[in-house]
Structures are given as C-alpha cells and as structure tokens.
C-alpha cells in the first residue's frame, strides 16, 4: 500500500476505534439532556393553568413556530403583491400619459417575528460595536496608566452594575432632545436601544482590557524598553497582542450582556425588536400568546448562544496561545 | 592615562523601597570593563547579580554612583546595551524570525533597506543555528532554541555591550555546552563586550576573561576579581585536564564556599585538590549543594 493511501486511511481507523465512545459523547449525551428537559417541560406545562389557558408544552410551541413562519411568508407575499399593484398602476398611468406623475410608496405592513429578529440582531451588533470601539481603546489607556486607572476605577465600578432599565428613561429623553433632524438616518428608537445597550455592555470589555494591559509581563516590558519602542509601537506590538486573551474574555461577556439588555430595553421602550414582540404578545392575550412568547424565548436563547460561538471562533482565530483551552 | 575606560561602574549603591523601609541591595560596586572583554558575574543566589546587570542595562537606576559607557552616563535602557533575559522573553505571538525582526527594524530603520534587514535577520539566526526553525513560534520550539533566538535577537542589535542574565541556566548540560561553544565562537568573531551572569563555575572559567565574584547581600559588592588567562580558542575537553584551568576553578569555588559561605550551608571544602578527578567529584557535589541552596533561597524569597 502506498504511504498516501495509508495516510488517507489512518483517520478512518481512528474514527472506527473512537466511534462509539465519541458518538456517545458528542451526540447521545446532549440529546439525552434535551429529551429529559422536554419531558419535564411537558409534564410541568400540563399542570400549570394560566388565565390564557394551559402553559404551552413543546408541541404547542412547535405549532406556534410554524405559525409564525407562515405569517411571515404571508406578509412577504402581501408585500410583493402591493408592489406589483403599484407598479401596474404606474405603468398604466404612464401608458396613458408619458408625463404623468407617478407615486412610489413603501409598504407599511406589520413587522413579523422574523423581521423583529432581524431588527434585534442589527441593533445588538451596532450597540456592541459602538461599545467595543470605546471600551478597547479606553481600556488600553487606563490599563497602561496606574493613575488613570485609580482615577476611573470608582466610576467604572459605580456604573457597571446599573440595570438597563434605569438608563432607559434618561437615554430616551436625551436622544429625543439631541437627536433632532428632519431626515434622520436612523430611527430614534434604534438610537435609544443602541445607546442603552452600549452603556450596559461597555464595562466588561473596558475592565478586562485594562486588566489585561496592566498585567503584561515585566520581561516583555523590559524588552520594549531595551528596544526603545515608541509608545505606539509598544502598544501595537506588545500591549495589544498580550492583552488579546483578556480583551476577548471581556468582549464575550459584553456581547452576552448586550443581548440580554437589548431584549429588556425593547420591551420597556416599545422599540422594534424581539422584546417588543414578546410584550405585544403579552398584551394581546390570545390563547396562542404564551406559545408564541415561548418560541421567542427559545429563539432569544439560540441567538445568544450563536453569538457567543461566533465570538469564540474569532477568539480562537486571533489567539496566539494555542495551549490555552478556550470554551 | 588618556584612554577612557569602555564601561565603568563607580560607587554604585541601590536601595529598593520595601514596606519595611529601603533595602540596600548593592553597596559601592566598582568595576571597569575593557572593550571586547568577556566578564562573568558569579555569586550566591539573591546577592544582586541581576540588579547589577539591570543597572548597566538602564532598567534600574542606581541610588548612588553610576555607570559610564564610553564616557556617557547610562540612565535609560537602549539597544546598544542588548539584554539576553534569563527566561528568553520572546514575544510568544511572533515567530523566531519576527522576534528578531522587531529588534532589527527598531535599530536599523534608517540605515538598512528591507532586503538588507531580511538578510541580517537570517544571518543572525544562522549564527545561533536557528535558521531551520526560524518561522516557528516560541511555543513550538525547545527551551534551548528559544534561548538561542533570544541571543540572536540581542546580537542582531549590534550592541556595544551584551548583557546576559544566566542565559543557559535553564538548559540541560548538553545544550548548554553547545551554546557556550557557539557563544565563544561568535564573541571571537564580533569581539563584543559581554557581561554574563552565571551560577556555573565551569561556564564562568571557560568563557570569561575575568570573573567578578560578588559578596553575599544585602549590601553586596564586588568581592574578588579573577583574571582567567587561558589561551583562546578554548576547548572544554583539553581544558578538563589543564592544571591552570582547574586552579581557576578551585579559586572560584573557594570564594563561593569558603569565603562567602552561606549560613546553614554544611559543605566541607577542606582540600580543593587540583588533581582533576578529585576536584571534579567535589565540584559535582558542590554544584549539587549550590543548586539546592539556590532553591532554598528562592523558596525563602517566595
Ligand atoms: N525590584 C526590587 N524590589 C525590591 N527588592 C529587590 C528588587 N529586585 C531585587 N531585589 C532584592 O535585591 C536582592 C538582589 O536581587 P537580584 O535579583 O539582583 O539577585 P541575583 O543575584 O540575581 O539572584 P539570582 O541568582 O537568584 O538570580 C535580593 O535580595 C532581592 O530580593
Ligand atoms: Mg538573577
């Protein structure tokens, strides 16, 4: 057998050997966990009776998720039909009179569940990026300077535990007062949500960056001094790379917080997004509402999980310390 | 005398601030070093060898006295006084090549073209026999290889003075011997001034022109200076039987274990014979005790 073939076969041999154990570990165990959860959920749900009927079990939630998807598709079809009619109308007008004034109007349908997911995702990412853009440089500066660190640490510690709900009224008022323009690029509600998210998720990145930067090994600092690196080169070549693991720890915490905060802010401020969806369903109070809210809960969880996985992937990509186990 | 001393430490004192008041680590250290000289610093653990080196490097400031390099006062670190750190101190996210490159770019940014820099980096990695693994990161190479890259980085800066803090301390005997030979070769070629800290008596005698023996701290200072007048190039195997070599060795050992014997150290150094086999056995024993006492010391410090 050629060595090439051997090389190709080797992994398969390995797979065969590890097959059962690996399969159990990777699939069967988590699946069992999920099944147990579904079972308990099912039993529990049947025994909880609310004013809106029985608490939704897995089956109802699955049903509602299909409904939500169908509603979304119907809404899209309506939208397409609307534009079709408008185009037809305009075409007819033009055919009669080539100089006729024609009107284009945007479709103003109801935002579906899927639309709300999109809105929330865009908002959370924008808020998170805005926060990171401030927190990473600020963290580096504070981390490099002991005096600045002691100066700002009390302020940071003070604002870190503040709930988004406390910020929200203030942010709303400030945005209404300051963000005035005839043709705003972003909706006010978007700006409010974004700022609230940023204010709440700033702190973990800021603190972790500062700690990462200030705990650079003295030896590496000495290398930098002996080489007489300029401040900027020092930061780029030595400070940032060595603080990268801590920066990412902060970023992951921040993104998690951003996502949680956003849902709460959307609920409270009635800003478009998944939070508003949940609130609207709650106000709606139909027999399907609880099931639909439960769908939202699961989707919120899945998205949060997905966001964290994406950050983990990024972290693995930029991490130089391959011995460090990232999870 | 008109010729200025190349490197001169005059009346160097240093006090470290500690919670229980200032701690005088060095007191009145005086030392003159000629250009191209290879000087070893030897002394018991914690006596202040690294402190001396850091003062010459400019990383520490002497409380009293100071350092002159070619007539200019040293008061900050700079690439003309390259340091090889005890634990290599390579940037873990850069490859061996990139680590040397960082230093070369900094020192030669105005005087070498890109191509010249590349050649120079590769040349220095070749000097330490690291050209085969120059695109590996520190975590992909062995301890000895890391230390070689650290040396290449220092050499590539074309320093006036090379400062080496126990450069081979963490290496196994074979690798250490190998690197010692390389260092001797390179030094013979480039004629750098070198100050090297070591715990190893054989290493000190083999490599140095002079061995500076330090007294125990606190307030440590230069105890004795031993001139090593052995013909270069030196070969470890030939020297092993050399009476002169063994005499130097015995002199250092007697300084360390008789004159600067540390309290609690129960070593009998009654007859430091110059007969090779005898002294060798003893040296081995001494070496062991030296190491255990060093460990003991660092435990105390911790
Ligand atoms: N930054 C510092 N602050 C306070 N004390 C210090 C500082 N650096 C060194 N010392 C003290 O100065 C003394 C000399 O330390 P130094 O590191 O120079 O010893 P050394 O001879 O290099 O020891 P070793 O052989 O173990 O490396 C020690 O007692 C140490 O505790
Ligand atoms: Mg030391």
CB contact under 8 A, A223 and B139: no
CA distance B9 to chain A (A): 19
Q: Note whether ipTM > 0.90 here.
A: no
The band of B111, judged by pLDDT with boundaries at 50, 70 and 90, is: very high
Instruction: Report whether pLDDT(B136) > 90.
Output: yes
CB contact under 8 A, A220 and B81: no
Q: What is the mean pLDDT of residues B258-285?
A: 51
pTM of the model: 0.80
Q: Kindly give the parts of chain A with pLDDT less than 70.
A: 1-18, 322-324, 327
Whole-number average pLDDT of chain B: 85
Q: Does B240 touch chain A (CB under 8 A)?
A: no
Continuous segment of H or E residues that includes residue B42? strand B38-42
CB B48 within 8 A of CB B26: yes
User: Per residue, what are the HEC states of B226-286?
Assistant: EECCCCCCCCHHHHHCCHHHHHHHHHHHHHHHHHCCCCCCCCCCCCCCCCHHHHHHHHHHH
| pLDDT at position B264 | 54
| pLDDT at position A17 | 57
Q: How many CB pairs under 8 A join A and B?
A: 55
Closest CA to B151 of B167, B137, B135, B140: B167
Instruction: Report whether pLDDT(B135) > 70.
Output: yes
Instruction: Report whether pLDDT(B284) > 90.
Output: no
Buried b (16+ CB within 10 A) or exposed e, A91-112: eeeeeeeeeeeeeeeeeeeebb
* Position with higher pLDDT, B200 vs A324: B200
Q: Which of B53, B93, B101 to mutate to test the interface with A (most CBs of A within 10 A)?
A: B93
Please report, rounded to a whole number, the percentage of residues in chain B having pLDDT higher than 70. 86
When CB atoms are compared, the residue of A220, A225, A323 closest to B91 is A220
- Specify the residue with its C-alpha closest to ligand 1, atom 12: B25
B170-198 residue pLDDT tens: 788 888 898 899 899 889 888 889 999 99
- Specify the residue with its C-alpha closest to ligand 1, atom 24: B45
| pLDDT at position A184 | 76
B16-63 residue pLDDT tens: 999 999 999 999 999 999 999 999 999 999 899 999 999 999 999 999
| pLDDT at position A214 | 92
| pLDDT at position A242 | 92
Instruction: Report whether pLDDT(B292) > 70.
Output: no
Q: Does B136 touch chain A (CB under 8 A)?
A: no
Give φ, ψ of A306 to 5 degrees: -65, -45
CA distance B80 to chain A (A): 9
| pLDDT at position A26 | 82
The band of B286, judged by pLDDT with boundaries at 50, 70 and 90, is: very low
Report the C-alpha gap between A120 and B170 in whole angstroms. 55
CB contact under 8 A, A229 and B106: yes
Report the C-alpha gap between B196 and B42 in whole angstroms. 9
């Amino acid at each position: 057998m050629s060595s090439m073939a051997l090389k190709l076969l080797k992994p398969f041999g390995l797979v065969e050997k590890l097959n059962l154990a690996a399969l159990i570990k990777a699939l069967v165990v988590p699946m069992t966990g999920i099944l147990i959860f579904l079972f308990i959920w099912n039993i529990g749900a049947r025994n909880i009776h609310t004013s809106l009927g029985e608490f939704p079990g897995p089956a109802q939630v699955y049903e509602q998720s299909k409904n939500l998807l169908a509603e979304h598709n119907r809404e899209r079809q309506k939208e397409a039909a609307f534009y079709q009619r408008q185009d037809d109308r305009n075409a007819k007008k033009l055919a009669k009179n080539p100089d006729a004034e024609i009107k284009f109007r945007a479709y103003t349908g109801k935002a579906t569940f899927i639309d709300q997911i999109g809105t929330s995702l865009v908002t959370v990412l924008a808020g998170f990026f805005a926060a990171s853009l401030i927190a990473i440089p600020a963290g580096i500066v504070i981390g490099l300077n002991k005096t600045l660190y002691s100066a700002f640490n009390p302020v940071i510690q003070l604002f870190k535990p503040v709930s988004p709900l406390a910020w929200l009224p203030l942010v709303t008022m400030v945005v209404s007062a300051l963000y005035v323009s005839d043709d705003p690029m972003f909706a006010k509600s978007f700006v409010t949500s974004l700022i609230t998210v940023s204010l709440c998720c700033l702190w973990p990145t800021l603190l972790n960056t500062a700690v990462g930067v200030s705990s650079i090994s003295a030896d590496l600092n000495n290398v930098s001094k002996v080489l007489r690196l300029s401040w900027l080169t020092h930061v780029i070549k030595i400070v940032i790379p060595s603080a990268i693991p801590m920066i990412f720890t902060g970023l992951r915490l921040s993104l998690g917080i951003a996502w949680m905060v956003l849902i709460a802010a959307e609920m409270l401020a009635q800003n478009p997004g998944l939070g508003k969806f949940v609130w609207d369903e709650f106000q709606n109070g139909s027999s399907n509402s609880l099931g639909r809210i439960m769908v939202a809960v699961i989707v919120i969880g899945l998205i949060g999980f997905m966001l964290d996985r994406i950050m983990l992937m990024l972290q693995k990509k930029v991490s130089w310390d391959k011995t460090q186990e990232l999870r | 005398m008109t010729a200025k001393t190349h490197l001169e430490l005059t009346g160097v004192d240093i006090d470290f601030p500690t919670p229980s008041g200032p701690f005088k680590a060095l007191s009145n250290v005086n030392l003159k070093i000629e250009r191209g000289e290879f000087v070893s610093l030897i002394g018991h653990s914690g006596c202040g060898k690294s402190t001396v080196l850091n003062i010459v490097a400019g990383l520490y400031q002497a409380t009293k006295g100071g350092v002159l390099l070619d007539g200019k006062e040293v008061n900050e670190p700079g690439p003309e006084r390259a340091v090889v750190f005890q634990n290599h101190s390579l940037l873990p996210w850069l490859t061996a090549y990139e680590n040397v490159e960082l230093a070369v770019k900094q020192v030669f940014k105005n005087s070498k073209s890109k191509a010249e820099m590349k050649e120079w980096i590769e040349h220095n990695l070749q000097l330490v026999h690291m050209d085969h693994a120059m695109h590996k990161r520190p975590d992909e190479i062995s301890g000895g290889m890391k230390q070689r890259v650290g040396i290449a980085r220092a050499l590539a800066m074309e320093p006036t003075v090379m400062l080496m803090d126990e450069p081979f301390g963490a290496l196994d005997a074979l690798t250490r011997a190998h690197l010692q030979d390389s260092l001797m070769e390179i030094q013979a070629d480039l004629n750098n001034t070198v100050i090297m800290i070591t715990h190893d008596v054989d290493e000190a005698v083999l490599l140095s022109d002079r061995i500076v023996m330090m007294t125990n701290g606190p307030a440590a200072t230069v105890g004795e200076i031993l001139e090593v007048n052995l013909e270069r190039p030196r070969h470890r195997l030939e020297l092993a039987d050399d009476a002169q070599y063994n005499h130097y060795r015995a002199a250092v050992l007697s300084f360390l274990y008789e004159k600067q014997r540390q309290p609690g150290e129960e070593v009998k150094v009654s007859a430091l014979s110059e007969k090779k086999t005898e002294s060798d056995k003893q040296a081995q024993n001494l070496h062991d005790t030296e190491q255990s006492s060093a460990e003991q010391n660092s435990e105390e410090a911790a």
